[in-house]
Amino acid sequence: MIGCDCEVCHSSDPRDQRLRSSIYVETSECAWVVDTGTDFRTQALRENIRRLDAVVFTHSHTDHIMGFDDLRRYSHDLGSIPVYASAETMRDLERVYEFAFNGLNRFPGYLVPVPHIVDGPFQLGNTLLTPLPVPHGKSTVNGYLFSRGGEKLVAYLSDCSAVPDDIVREIAQVKVLIIDALRRKPHPTHLSVSQALEVASKVRPSQTLFTHVCHELPQSSEADLPPGVGIAYDGLKLKL
């Protein structure tokens, strides 16, 4: 947090130094990133991401889209980059990044996005991505369920203030639930720790990881969480 002198902001634990929430997924056939936040360039350099075949968006809040133009490196390698988002999010992307979408004054190396509207399940390689519409305050945003061969592997709900019962049933017994848990105190647009734990108790995943965590929740508080529940940190890698 800019200008903050709290214990977490000055923590010596590197896991307390958090950039914007995002995930990178790589399979044998395809690789994609979910959201390109303000820190996307820093994250891609840190993780030495050389391969990116597509980008998927949850919603168009600034902390999830403001690294969009840094996709130009991957777009240049492929000739273009497929972009998957809801109709509302795509409209916002096309407005904010009009220069990329309108095709005018385009020079070699510029970003060439190819829009794909997400209005139902779609495939990237052999992975089925099922959109999970959830409330985020007054907005509705997409989480995603990643499945392969009919097996539910990961449910990604980075920004939500509730998880409706139909979504709970959709992701029931997923291997890994990655879920918004901003802090312990209630918040109007994000789940609290207790709310996220309640959702996890209904979903019954093999593993739960909290994401979109603010500086009010130190990594050390992971010790107080139930078995199978942890706090995600920058650079965390899962192999499924």
- The mean pLDDT value of the chain amounts to 97
Which phi and psi angles does 10 have, rounded to 5°?
A: -115, 20
How far apart CA 24 and CA 67 sit, in angstroms, is: 14
| Structural domain boundaries, residue 27 | 23-119
Residues 6+ apart with CB under 8 A from 221: 231
Reported as a pLDDT band with limits 50, 70 and 90, residue 109 is confident
* CA-CA-CA-CA dihedral for 82, 85, 87, 93, to nearest 10: -80
Q: Domain check: are 42 and 136 in the same one?
A: no
pTM of the model: 0.96
Q: E-strand spans in the chain?
A: 23-26, 31-34, 54-56, 81-85, 113-117, 122-124, 127-136, 139-148, 151-157, 176-180, 207-211, 229-231
Q: Are residues 169 and 186 in the same domain?
A: yes
- Looking at the domain assignment, is residue 14 inside a domain? no
Residue 11, in any domain of the structure? no
CATH number, domain with residue 187? 3.60.15.10
Question: Are 142 and 214 within one domain?
Answer: yes
Six-digit token string for 234: 């920058």
Positive or negative CA dihedral for 55, 59, 63, 65?
A: positive
Helices and strands per DSSP (H, E), number in the chain: 7, 12
Helices (H), 66-164: 72-78, 87-96, 98-101
pLDDT tens by residue, 147-203: 999 999 999 999 999 999 999 999 999 999 999 999 999 999 999 999 999 999 999
Pick the last residue of a domain from 119, 154, 188. Answer: 119
How many domains is the chain built from?
A: 2
- Distance (Å, rounded) from C-alpha 47 to C-alpha 5? 28
pLDDT of residue 105: 66
Residues 150 and 102 in one domain: no
pLDDT band of 140, cuts 50, 70, 90: very high
Would you say residue 72 lies in a domain?
Answer: yes
Report how far residue 228's alpha carbon sits from residue 58's, in angstroms, rounded to the nearest whole number. Answer: 25
- Out of 119, 134, 160, pick the residue that ends a domain: 119
Q: What are phi and psi of 118, to 5 degrees?
A: -90, 110
CA distances from 51 to 55, 96, 131 (A): 12, 25, 23
Cα distance between residue 53 and residue 230, in whole Å:
29
